[in-house]
Structure 1
């Protein structure tokens, strides 16, 4: 099967100089696509010098947007996504491809603790992995890894769901689990990145926090809404018990808590139906 290598890149000229030669040596027949996301350095020129097909944007649209552009343009039956910052080496590619040959639809390179950009990012990713594992019932070793191999036909089913920002790995992973497409994880070494990260803790902190809620709504909204409704219900019941004992009456606060519990539960039911319709396949 033909393989398409897709690298989203924004000002990653030095990273491409380190990454592309190894990719060409390992997979000389593979289609090589570099999506230049509004770079202001020599990213596009370096990619062309190494024989890559370059898709350039006049301005930065985001990592997820670059992934979608590359996937739409790719001709291969297997899509291999790598970061262009020099962290992902070619040595791990055969292991990922072997997982697809053994029946998996997506294989993800899982970083260890030493592969995290910072302590904060490591703790956040660990939390995401635990929430996703609880939601899916399967061990999710690295929810946010950008190094993955996937069957093109199945990946393209979910292009309309992918955001333009940094959380595309979360979305595609949960979409595959929801659709019962088997996902495998392969431990990989990660080199120190070249250049500066495009993620800013203050700017992206709230965005990454929202990924937790996105995980739930993408996979099983009821697992988020039912516990929330239960908390409101218990708070209402506790407040009613207290006010009945102390004041012998049913207060407005108790009514508010019970109403909130019912509303949250009903919103969860609607969200569950919307999620089911979102993943409904149209042949």
Structure 2
């Protein structure tokens, strides 16, 4: 039976010929809140809080560029035939793993230039990053993308979801898993966990590594439900592969840094 639901308009408002999309507004909100939290924590940890706005001036454009490049590379069959759409990020199609690669690389170079510890910056930023990711997933909701396989309306109703989410998950005549929501909730839980871990006497770098492990576990399972995965091979999903690699590398780095004494400075210590 055909449902008569109107999806949410992805365009929030127009200024003459310029269209402002909800996707960009939501991503911007996530970045702004993440930056505010990082600045607060930097100040509390005895760092110049202006370090993070300075870092973001470089990290935001580089991360967006890397996220788009990453996505386009793994969808090259399509974009090679539609090169005019390569820059159309307002239609979606930025890969979070690409963004994280760009952000971490930028932060590492930035920390070296400013003569501050990269791991200290990463620990401070970790809760902000995962909160920004939780908010950003709602941009996928507006665009009706990054969803999972087909389900029934009854399935969604049994999840006790609000009507506006159920209706937005009705796409081209069928209902779909709201995988954007699953990952958003997982990331919000990770944000709460990282705030709790700030009160634990972890070694330097271990809060950030906790973020990498937590996020990667959730992403691995959520990715398995999605229908739009970037594929490494015909049967191997790129995001799941990267998630496994990140978990292994993070655990190995945790152990290595402990053995070598690189994490002897604790997060609760100012220094």
TM-score w.r.t. structure 1 length?
0.29
Which protein has the larger Cα radius of gyration, Structure 1 or Structure 2? 1
Which protein has the bigger strand share?
1
Which protein has the bigger helix share?
2
TM-score w.r.t. structure 2 length?
0.30
